[in-house]
Copies of this chain bind each other. A is one copy, B any other.
């Protein structure tokens, strides 16, 4: 199996995606291609030996072959016409915008390229924190209470302090603040509004227990170990950023089998068929003994490889169980019958 790792993209997590791709290069025991999306959204084919962060920040990548996306794959210019970049499937490793908001998923589907990663619907429901709440409600998974502020609204209607303020459509803690009182709220909202015009506000629960569980649907569900992430108040951007380069196995959270099962049951409900084809990480809280979904990471940093005992076989299993494509016949039945009826 040969994978093409697609990374970069125009997103606040562009740099994180580069780090994530470099981490996966060492983890994946397969033949790999690397396709970089630069800040102008041009595709470049990167040689494995050049997979170093400086190669991108310096602009050196521009010497690489540019690629064009067309039916069936990525193509580079060749002496006579074009040459297809050969691989079996893409691993979508573009964190944040472009990768997690459904754009790339839609493009890969349109151009008939098999890929690991969330599909368009799964992307939209997990990238937008408000839609994640709606979805969780629908499938019977608990989330924290919340309020939505829009278009420079600054007034909370029901929540008491402390609260946590999050732009609706950003990952990696960007633009997120904990707010302890009314005075801090305006500034926190100003920061968040820099990133999105829709803000989700939730109660902030000091010292809440947090558990991360990654997994995917292969033949059956495969789960990672449960991790209890370290944290100060919460992981800030730089902390999380470093997190994206992790490749070392972590220690299991010290939880009983009941809780582990409950986390897995919630994960299954969330993953359902919606996320088929993706390896996702769900971040849960436990509040008053109840499991509560915090967020869904449809493309977690370096694919949360460090949480799995055998990450390579998870990737292989998912590859073999991608969602089926619907075959749509286009036979011009209606046009033919109308043309016939009109006698022309």
For this chain, the copies found in one complex come to 2
Question: Which listed segment binds B: A39-47, A222-230, A256-264, A290-298?
Answer: A39-47
Contact A15 B57 (CB under 8 A): no
Give Cα A328 to B101, complex, Å.
Answer: 15
Stretch of A107-115, A152-160, A176-184 at the chain-chain interface: A107-115
Give, as a whole number of angstroms, the nearest-CB distance from A119 to chain B. 10
Q: How far is the CA of A98 from the CA of B334 in the complex (A)?
A: 20
A101 and B18 CA atoms in complex are apart in Å by 29
Which residues from B are CB-within-8-Å of A2?
Answer: none
Within 8 A of B (CB), among A1-56: 10-12, 14-16, 18-19, 39-42, 53-54, 56
Q: A316 within 8 Å of B by Cβ?
A: no
Q: Kindly state the separation between the CA atoms of A280 and B220 in the bound complex, as whole angstroms.
A: 41
Given contacts A41-B112, A56-B335, contact A120 B101 (CB under 8 A): yes
**Once bound together, how far apart are the Cα atoms of A293 and B50, in whole Å?**
54
How many Å lie between the Cα of A240 and that of B180 in the bound state?
56
If the complex has contacts A106-B105, A110-B103, are A39 and B124 also in contact, measured as CB distance less than 8 A?
A: no
A105 contact set on B, CB distance < 8 A: 106
> Which residues of the other chain, B, contact A187 by a CB distance below 8 angstroms?
none
Q: Which chain A residues (272-299) contact chain B, with CB distance < 8 Å?
A: 273
A175 at interface, CB cutoff 8 A = no
The answer on a CB contact under 8 Å between A328 and B121 is no
Q: Which residue of B lies closest to A107 (CB)?
A: B107
When distances are taken between beta carbons in the complex, the residues of chain B under 8 Å from A137 are 134, 137
Docked-complex contact B57 and A336, CB < 8 angstroms: yes
A330 touches B10 (CB 8 A): yes
Checking B41, B112, B134 against A135 with a beta-carbon cut-off of 8 angstroms, the contacting residue is: B134
Contact assessment for A335 and B110 in the assembled complex, using a CB-CB cutoff below 8 Å = no
Contact A40 B339 (CB under 8 A): no
Interface flag for A88 (CB, 8 Å): no
A150–B98 CA distance with the chains assembled, in angstroms: 30
Q: How far is the CA of A44 from the CA of B233 in the complex (A)?
A: 55
In whole Å, how far is A151's beta carbon from the nearest beta carbon of chain B? 8
- Interface size in chain A (residues, C-beta < 8 A): 61
Q: Complex Cα distance A181/B304, Å? A: 49
Alpha-carbon distance between A42 and B70 when the two chains are bound, in angstroms? 9
- The B-contacting residues of A in range 216-265, CB under 8 angstroms, are 238, 241
A304-344 contact mask (Cβ, 8 Å, vs B): 1 or 0: 00000000000000000000000010101111101100001
Q: How far is the CB of A53 from chain B (nearest CB, A)?
A: 4
Give A344 to B58 CA distance when docked, in angstroms.
Answer: 13
A167 CB to nearest B CB, Å: 11
Residues of B within 8 A of A173 (CB): none
- Among A16, A53, A56, chain B packs the most CB atoms within 10 A around the CB of A53
Is A300 positioned at the interface, with any CB of B under 8 Å from its CB? Answer: no
4 interchain residue pairs of minimum CB distance = A57-B332, A103-B106, A106-B106, A39-B330
Q: A14-B328, A14-B330, A40-B71 are in contact. List 10 more A-B contacts (CB 8 A).
A: A15-B335, A39-B330, A41-B110, A57-B332, A57-B335, A121-B124, A124-B124, A124-B125, A134-B137, A150-B273
